[in-house]
Structure 1
Amino acid sequence: MYKATTFILILLISVLTSSVSSQTRGAGIQGKITTADGAPAAYVNVGIKGLKSTVSGEDGSFSLRNIPFGNHIVKVSYLGLAGDEKAVTLKEGEILELDFKLQESSQKLSEVVVTASRNNQQVLTAGKAGLNPMDVPQSSSVISSQVITDQQASKLSDVMKNVNGVALGTSRGSTSENFFARGYSLGSNNYFKNGSRYNSGSLPEVSTLEQVEVLKGSAAMLYGNVSGGAIVNLVTKRPKFEYGGEISMRGGSYNSYKPTGDVYGPISKNLAFRLIGTFENNESYRNEVKSDKYYINPSLLYKAGKNTDVLLQGDYLQYDLTPDFGIGSLDGKIPTSISRSSFFNTAWAFNKANQTNISATVDHKFNDIWKLNVVGSYQLFNRNYYSTERIQADAVGDWNRALTRSRTAEDYYSAQANLTGSLYTGKIKHSVLIGTDADSYLNTSHTFNFATAYDRINILNPNKYTARQDMPFAKDSLVTEAPTYRLGYYAQDLISLSEKLKVMAGLRWSYQKALVADVHNLIKGTSGKSATAAKSDQAFSPKFGIVYQPVKTMAIFGSYSNNFTVNSGIDVFDQALSPSIIDQFEAGVKNDFLNGKLTANFTLYKIINNNLAQQAQFLKDGITLNANTNIKELTGQTTSDGFEFDLTGTVLPGLNAMGGYSYNYMRYTKTSGRKGSYIEGERLVSNPAHTANASLFYTFNTPGLRGLKAGFSGYYIGERNAGWNNTVGQTQTVSRLIPMNGFTTYDLTLGYAHRRLSVLAKLSNLTNELNYYVHENYSVNPIPPRQFLTTLSYKF
């Protein structure tokens, strides 16, 4: 508690000191912009000629700080329409109140803003080439900071619920979140922060993000070894050259509280800063489960010249939580009679994770056409874990608790360079991307000596046995250091054959090598090499697409791409397995309706993995049965096909809406049919056939209700299977699948904003729905019950 209090005090003192400092260095101007009919004018540009500018908030308020005293011209403008300007004289230290009334009505202003912004068809930084989304033959989603704030997102899952076609899963012991897109698990290779690979083993801080980008389907041409489902890019907030910030306090059910501070501004004419920090304490509806999170995100932006920006970003996350396997399984089934709050782990179990990210980005414009982007990053991730494991009780509820002790670290260096520009061959325009990236990855794992057997308890009758309370000593005995290197070169060309017809072609060559691991015996004091041989893989990843735009507001596209997945293990001849090559076909249509007020996208896809790696049935003699899970063979095929439909828009002034529906069929389509192989036609576990999401937020502009905001969100995940997929000739006489019912949750939000102060309250899971997120069959975690959350914020 002392550590948390100290952190909060330092954060608040830093924010308040910066705020006071910004006001004493010079004068300031603040006020409100309204339309001709008295409604707040949001997102209007406000600037002082030759000095600085800002944008009005949702309530029409604006603020400019650290202005030299004297005579100035303040100008407001909005998307090319007639603006307004006023001459002012500022005294040293003065904060001048200045309001503007625009000549346009709120309806007219909203139409102009929506038409210019094109709503959901946003450029993804993860796309690297800066192309208009209408020109890209691939579907994508962007969740903005406004949506993250309105929904009071605490976890990445709160954000990803807004992404059509993405389903939430979980990990062993709920130590991290996992997601499935188009039938594929988004493993550790599919997460990025500001374009650099990011470890997904922790629960990232999302409430302070600028946006979350999801590029669906294969992104292997741009990023190399990634799964076929999607990639997720977390974009942090950048420094600004005007003073401002926000402090907030969030609190809610189960003693949850979270203070946050965000302050930004110029240090000099060419240097700006931003500092964001937060602490989060959460108890839980689960008995004895709790978590603490510390997060700080400093950044600097340096204008090295007219055409060059240097951005330094860093963040540090410390996340301590109780490993939680939920209610577990009972004779291979979910024991729904057990209370949602029941806890069967030990009170001392812990999962301590900390993560440091540092990146430097250089953006240089050679001219208005050619640009260079260079990014270098470093990541350090540590996890320290000790807990009981795998709640798998027998038919009467008895469970022999076993222990697992682990400690891992990941050092990750990465660099990339991207050159973008355009050129012409005759009348044909080429929008070109040429790039390279390289990674250096070191995984350090510790092995412990300890007795894995702990005790026996009964999950149906806690009084049947006396549970142990002590934490056994585990001696650190072995350290293994496993390095991996990646290298890639890629090129992409968007060829505009005409205004209506465009072709995209791209190719990447990827190389990955895992070296022999170093092994250090801490007990004997010796070092050596592991028995596992070095392994290298390389592959070409092509991409080809066609875009036809019959009108400027519609794009019809089709594309082919592939990616590769590195396979672990060896074959029966002791040789490393080749990568699995995965083919993807995608077709769809993107639309803007009502002058950009509404976007509607529809996508069809088929993804085929022709080289599924499975445990080999026999050894190389073809007779002896193989019991070694590390000996595998490339056999079988999986196919994932489906469609996605989404709508996003602001059809009425103040009304923001998004929603979507998706269908996916991920199954085994070709297998050997031999003992141990998977069964053709069986749907893969953890993949729901149907998902849907919807969200509506309305900000009132009418007199008497101005500043009031109301929101409603819903999320549906359909029937799916937990457990494991069945195999031919398995020893079990019953199916290993655990059928799971679908469920829907609803959230209700109400808020009010007045000038710089706002309050937002949310009631989640209104109907108190009960269902479960299941990892295999032993980590069965009930979804959160009905909860209350509120956030009080002040902007300065």
Structure 2
Amino acid sequence: MTPFHSTCRLSVIAVSLLAAFSVSADNGIETIEVTGERQAYRGDFTHLMSPEAIFEFDAELMAQTGITDLTQVLDMSASVSRQNSLGGLWDSFAIRGFFGDENVPSGYLVNGFNAGRGFSGPRDVSGIERVEVLKGPKAALFGRGEPGGSINLVTKKPTFQSSSEIELTAGSRAHRRIEGDINTVFSDSVAGRFIGFYEEEESFRDTIETQKHGMMASFVFDQSSDSSWQYDFEYAEQEIPFDRGIIAPNGNFDFMPIERFLGEPGDGPTTTMVHGHQLQWLYDLNNDWQLSSALAFRQTELDSLSSDADISPSRQKLYRDFQTLTRQHRQRAYDTDQYVARFELAGDLVTGSIKHHIIVGVDYDRFEFDRDYRVARAPALSTNPTDAQLYAINIHQPVYGQYPSPTPSPVIIRQQNQWATGIYIQDQIALTEALQIRIGGRFDWLKQTTDDKISMKSADQSEQHFSPQMGVVYQLNDNWSLYSTYGEGYRLNFGTDHLGNGFDPNQSESIEVGSKWSLLDNNVDITLTYFDSEQSNIIVADVQNPGYSAAIGEATSEGVELDIIGQLPADAQIQFSYTYLDAQVSKDSIDTGLGVAIRKGDDLLNIPENAASIQLRQQYTVYGNTLSAGVGAQYVDERLGQRGSDFYLPSYVTVNLFAEYAISDRWSVKAQVHNAFDREHFTNSYSQMWVQPGEPRKVLLSTSYQF
């Protein structure tokens, strides 16, 4: 850690310990206070008194901008960067420069607890009330998670007022979408909400079409004035063609049109499926404390055939003639089951002159991952193979189906199960009206089993892990506070080393200091943050045992963030996010995918140094009805596009326009123009052979009716 990092960490620990001793000196409990309903794992804190950085997007913004995919929502946070999405098959992102396992989707939280793992395809935001970007390691409360932070999806809940809405959307490239939302009241104590969608469209990419549909159902049962039950159901299916994008040899992004598809349409689409259940019980034990408990089950499936560029120089003919692309043929069948349980108690109390806000709980998470992965690869060029043996395609004049698809051979057939049982506690202590400190921690018992069906080897791994968190916040006046916080995170790594043992967990730690303002009568919240983070036990190649991996990689991430969100004068709203980020490799190693050397000081893949996003909206009155219009813009700096190289993706700026007009109290029309100036851009890559182009201009028109 840097000296500044260490100094800040010690200051946070010192203040926390001082507060703890101060509390122990006053052991008489005088009063217990009620704060009202709390969100699981989060507590009930104002913007100024929360020692952490959070950025949120609500359903209204998502609807007005015409955004329906989670990845597009996260683009509006400059702290989040797109990562390898395996040809568009899942959501993959880094927060503050750090990401987890690039061979599996990024995990997220649903209603505050781990229930978003698996291979469900890109997440549609239908049925989502709010998307929260929780920055920094959060393992002290959430348990396992992504190393740079957590994404929490808050689902829409029923209300006790019947209403229904249907929306129809049409747009560029034969885009068609229908979405319905029905809220019904069954009795004075039971209400339900049903949300469904169907969408299909063609792509700007040749031969590509996508189709998806899904349904969310939720019920609320107010058993009594103290007891409430909530149930959520999720189901979705998608058909997504596997698409690795274009090729940009030596950084030549004009080498081929962005529309050209280099896979095989005959492979058919990748299919993904998810169905999940959540049951929550909220109970006020008395006027002072609230108990929340939950059970969840989620099942996902992914089945895929794909044909894409082979990135090995020993087999890739394109490196010789710049027109004949050697391809590999792959088959995937992934299945996951996840079981989650949680039991949490939260409340406020006062000991002497000191006020406590306490969260204490226990949870259980079981994740079962059944993986069948097969590959057919071409012979080495040194054997003078034919184009048929190379499963080749001419990138300038592609002829699909020219050669029969080779039969993939098993590479990984593995059943891997993970268990995590944890207990956690957090106490935010108000020493004075202005000064609060937060201390807490989580202890986890972890277990992982691996059953390799090819090597016929099995491995058992058990870990115990403690994750502390500490924070301090000082409110200088009614509109301004300063804070500092320290936290640690972890996640189990998939796979085994050369001895057949499981890897050590991936770990992260972060210190941050920041300032918060609430301005314009508390209508605008501003957060300015400096953070310094480290990540260890990253999976890299084992140089001592070729062909195997080891959890020895390390990286650092340091940066500054500015987030602004709120209501401006003249019925205007702003959502602004900027991040400066210096994310680097901090230990020499060998990349597992490309087999290239990664040097200390190298940039991390797909992480821009500067990124910014802004959304501006304003309301007007036109012919007695409301017109809402806005503009959004995103800037992304150049990013490393291939490890161990000087291949960088160019920076870009995209602009979106959107407007909505209420023709009547029930009927409204909307229009959105994404990438309004039709800027060519590239969102992410794994190598110069797999580059994902961004979507050209897209126009959407929709109408909705409430009844």
TM-score range, shorter chain: 0.7 to 0.9
C-alpha spacing 1:740/1:705, structure 2 compared with 1 (3 Å): farther
Amino acid at match of 2:69: K
CA contact (8 A) 1:252 1:790 kept: yes
SS of corresponding position for 2:147: coil
Question: Which residue number in structure 2 is paired with residue 651 of structure 1?
Answer: 568
Question: Which residue number in structure 2 is paired with residue 82 of structure 1?
Answer: none
Over residues 758-781 of structure 1, what are the superposed CA-to-partner deviations in whole Å (9 max), with x where a residue is unaligned?
Answer: 001011111111121333113212
Verify: 1:686 aligned to 2:606, yes or no.
yes
Find the partner of 1:584 among 501, 510, 521.
510
Q: Provide the rounded CA distance (Å) in 1 between the counterparts of 2:696 and 2:588.
A: 41
Amino acid at match of 1:782: P
- Give the deviation of 1:428 after TM superposition: 0.5
Amino acid at match of 1:482: Q
Amino acid at match of 2:685: H
- Give the deviation of 1:575 after TM superposition: 5.0
C-alpha spacing 1:768/1:238, structure 2 compared with 1 (3 Å): same
Amino acid at match of 2:487: S
C-alpha spacing 1:274/1:572, structure 2 compared with 1 (3 Å): closer
Verify: 1:282 aligned to 2:201, yes or no.
yes
Question: Which residue number in structure 2 is paired with residue 180 of structure 1?
Answer: 94
Amino acid at match of 2:438: M
Verify: 1:784 aligned to 2:695, yes or no.
yes
Amino acid at match of 1:719: E
C-alpha spacing 1:273/1:573, structure 2 compared with 1 (3 Å): closer
Find the partner of 1:738 among 641, 647, 666.
647
C-alpha spacing 1:203/1:574, structure 2 compared with 1 (3 Å): closer
CA contact (8 A) 2:226 2:284 kept: yes
Find the partner of 2:265 among 326, 347, 364.
347
Find the partner of 1:300 among 219, 225, 234.
219
Question: Which residue number in structure 2 is paired with residue 767 of structure 1?
Answer: 677
Over residues 460-484 of structure 1, what are the superposed CA-to-partner deviations in whole Å (9 max), with x where a residue is unaligned?
Answer: 3437xx8526566779999643222
SS of corresponding position for 2:326: strand
Q: Provide the rounded CA distance (Å) in 1 between the counterparts of 2:502 and 2:210.
A: 41
- Give the deviation of 1:691 after TM superposition: 0.5
- Give the deviation of 1:296 after TM superposition: 0.6
Question: Which residue number in structure 2 is paired with residue 492 of structure 1?
Answer: 426
Q: Provide the rounded CA distance (Å) in 2 between the counterparts of 1:572 and 1:256.
A: 49
- Give the deviation of 1:677 after TM superposition: 6.0
Verify: 1:696 aligned to 2:616, yes or no.
yes
- Give the deviation of 1:535 after TM superposition: 1.3
Q: Provide the rounded CA distance (Å) in 1 between the counterparts of 2:427 and 2:472.
A: 12
C-alpha spacing 1:209/1:472, structure 2 compared with 1 (3 Å): same
Question: Which residue number in structure 2 is paired with residue 662 of structure 1?
Answer: 579
C-alpha spacing 1:160/1:673, structure 2 compared with 1 (3 Å): closer
Verify: 1:411 aligned to 2:321, yes or no.
no
Over residues 170-199 of structure 1, what are the superposed CA-to-partner deviations in whole Å (9 max), with x where a residue is unaligned?
Answer: 422121232221111265463122223212
C-alpha spacing 1:576/1:763, structure 2 compared with 1 (3 Å): closer
Amino acid at match of 1:437: D
Question: Which residue number in structure 2 is paired with residue 458 of structure 1?
Answer: 394
Q: Provide the rounded CA distance (Å) in 1 between the counterparts of 2:39 and 2:176.
A: 33
Verify: 1:140 aligned to 2:50, yes or no.
no
Per the normalisation by structure 1, the TM-score is 0.76
Amino acid at match of 1:382: E
Question: Which residue number in structure 2 is paired with residue 751 of structure 1?
Answer: 660
- Give the deviation of 1:169 after TM superposition: 3.0
Q: Provide the rounded CA distance (Å) in 1 between the counterparts of 2:499 and 2:72.
A: 46
Question: Which residue number in structure 1 is paired with residue 117 of structure 2?
Answer: 199
- Give the deviation of 1:656 after TM superposition: 1.2
Find the partner of 1:157 among 53, 71, 82.
71
CA contact (8 A) 1:186 1:230 kept: no
CA contact (8 A) 1:193 1:234 kept: yes
Over residues 656-702 of structure 1, what are the superposed CA-to-partner deviations in whole Å (9 max), with x where a residue is unaligned?
Answer: 1111211010112344899986312221121100110111111103x
CA contact (8 A) 2:391 2:405 kept: no
Question: Which residue number in structure 1 is paired with residue 184 of structure 2?
Answer: 265
- Give the deviation of 1:218 after TM superposition: 0.7
Q: Provide the rounded CA distance (Å) in 2 between the counterparts of 1:715 and 1:477.
A: 40
Find the partner of 2:361 among 430, 435, 439.
435
C-alpha spacing 1:587/1:458, structure 2 compared with 1 (3 Å): same
Verify: 1:217 aligned to 2:153, yes or no.
no
Q: CA RMSD in A?
A: 2.6
Over residues 211-247 of structure 1, what are the superposed CA-to-partner deviations in whole Å (9 max), with x where a residue is unaligned?
Answer: 1111111111112222331211112111111110100
CA contact (8 A) 1:274 1:298 kept: yes
Over residues 243-285 of structure 1, what are the superposed CA-to-partner deviations in whole Å (9 max), with x where a residue is unaligned?
Answer: 1010010111000111111111211121111111110011111
Over residues 699-743 of structure 1, what are the superposed CA-to-partner deviations in whole Å (9 max), with x where a residue is unaligned?
Answer: 103x6364222110001111111111x2xxxxxxxxx24112110
Verify: 1:311 aligned to 2:230, yes or no.
yes
Tell me how many residue pairs correspond in the alignment: 643
Within 5 Å, which residues of 2 pair with 1:490-569? 490-517=424-451, 519=453, 530-568=456-494
Larger radius of gyration: 1
Worse overlay, 738-747 or 159-168: 159-168
Q: Provide the rounded CA distance (Å) in 2 between the counterparts of 1:143 and 1:124.
A: 19
Over residues 517-567 of structure 1, what are the superposed CA-to-partner deviations in whole Å (9 max), with x where a residue is unaligned?
Answer: 274x9xxxxxxx941421122211000000000112222100111122434
C-alpha spacing 1:518/1:687, structure 2 compared with 1 (3 Å): closer
CA contact (8 A) 1:320 1:351 kept: yes
Q: Provide the rounded CA distance (Å) in 1 between the counterparts of 2:374 and 2:614.
A: 47
C-alpha spacing 1:326/1:609, structure 2 compared with 1 (3 Å): closer
Q: Provide the rounded CA distance (Å) in 2 between the counterparts of 1:185 and 1:564.
A: 12
Verify: 1:402 aligned to 2:328, yes or no.
yes
- Give the deviation of 1:381 after TM superposition: 0.2
C-alpha spacing 1:234/1:469, structure 2 compared with 1 (3 Å): farther
Amino acid at match of 1:649: G
C-alpha spacing 1:423/1:755, structure 2 compared with 1 (3 Å): same
Q: Provide the rounded CA distance (Å) in 1 between the counterparts of 2:147 and 2:246.
A: 32
- Give the deviation of 1:577 after TM superposition: 3.7
Over residues 362-389 of structure 1, what are the superposed CA-to-partner deviations in whole Å (9 max), with x where a residue is unaligned?
Answer: 0111123200111100000000000112
Name stretches of at least 5 consecutive residues in structure 1 with no aligned partner.
1-122, 522-528, 619-625, 727-735
Q: Provide the rounded CA distance (Å) in 1 between the counterparts of 2:466 and 2:319.
A: 49
- Identity fraction in percent: 24
SS of corresponding position for 1:515: strand
C-alpha spacing 1:322/1:759, structure 2 compared with 1 (3 Å): same
Question: Which residue number in structure 2 is paired with residue 77 of structure 1?
Answer: none
SS of corresponding position for 2:73: helix
- Give the deviation of 1:650 after TM superposition: 1.5
Amino acid at match of 1:484: Q
C-alpha spacing 1:423/1:246, structure 2 compared with 1 (3 Å): same
C-alpha spacing 1:436/1:227, structure 2 compared with 1 (3 Å): same
Q: Provide the rounded CA distance (Å) in 1 between the counterparts of 2:460 and 2:330.
A: 28
Amino acid at match of 1:747: N
Worse overlay, 646-655 or 777-786: 646-655
